[in-house]
Amino acid sequence: MSELVSIIIPTYNTEKFITATLQSVQNQSYQNWEMILVDDASTDQTVSIIEEFAQKDDRIKLFKLEKNSGNGFARNIALEKAAGKYIAYLDADDLWFPEKLEKQIQFLKDNNLHFTFSFYDCIDEEGKDLNRRVEAPLKLTYNQLFFCNYVGNLTAIYNADYFGKIILPASQKRQDWRLWLTILKQIGETKPVPEPLAFYRIRKDSISSSKFKLIKHNFGVYREFHGYNLVFSILLMMRFLFTQLVIKPKYIKRN
């Protein structure tokens, strides 16, 4: 029997995108999953849309926060309620390819891995293909990840039987990068499935579209998460920026 996958999805005012996201999970060739959505006090129709899906599919589980508490808090609540052997992450505006879970779980088993991710393609706010594919090193080490987050949150999956549920402080920005760093610090290295298995939606208000916010939050990873002093954190950020400007672009291709 196939193992259960818990899919973690925090939501907040994503009425425009959530239907397509939910459908992309329902269309998976691998069907033994539970989808755990935690809504962070949306003020639009996000909740009612999810409730319609949940009424027809008991694998979809919705939990509602009374007040807006942030994406990280919602993700942690979802993780606490997860029952699967595998934990997979998906944001409420992104999409999976139909064979995403099936290929990744088989890849984990074939390569004796406990954590993997994949390449992904980019779309705009309206779902138009941007002809941009984001790849990653075929062997990703902790040192490489230390200077660049090569792991797309929408593509990551890990074995919770091996690692346990990894819950990080919700107040910290770049929670996803901190999570992958925590995992790779333990196992040293991993491999991605070397093909795109998801669509990443680039929105005007997304953190990844704001370069200043991204630099600020990445600096916080070195200063707060790793605990380095101010001067050393600045030096690390210089290396980080070099990686972003010189090395990472080599992994961005036209699809």
pLDDT of residue 1: 67
Domains of the chain: 5-204 (3.90.550.10)
pLDDT (tens digit per residue) in 199-228: 999 987 665 556 777 788 889 899 988 899
56's CB contacts (< 8 A; 6+ apart) are: none
Q: Is 19 exposed, middle or buried (0-12, 13-18, 19+ CB in 10 A)?
A: middle
Reported as a pLDDT band with limits 50, 70 and 90, residue 62 is very high
pLDDT of residue 204: 79
> Residue 141: helix, strand or coil by DSSP?
strand
pLDDT of residue 80: 97
pLDDT of residue 85: 98
**What is d(CA 124, CA 207) in angstroms, rounded to the nearest whole number?**
14
Residue 226 DSSP label: S
Reported as a pLDDT band with limits 50, 70 and 90, residue 32 is very high
Tell me the average pLDDT across 63-70. 95
E runs forming strands in 144-208: 157-159, 189-190, 193-201
pTM (2 decimals)? 0.93
pLDDT of residue 218: 87
pLDDT of residue 210: 65
pLDDT of residue 169: 84
pLDDT (tens digit per residue) in 127-176: 999 999 999 999 999 999 999 999 999 999 999 999 999 998 877 678 89
Give the chain's end-to-end CA distance (angstroms, integer).
36
- The torsion defined by the Cα of 174, 176, 177 and 183, in degrees rounded to 10, comes to 150
pLDDT (tens digit per residue) in 82-133: 999 999 999 999 999 999 999 999 999 999 999 999 999 999 999 999 999 9
E runs forming strands in 90-177: 95-96, 115-116, 118-123, 129-134, 140-141, 157-159
pLDDT of residue 149: 96
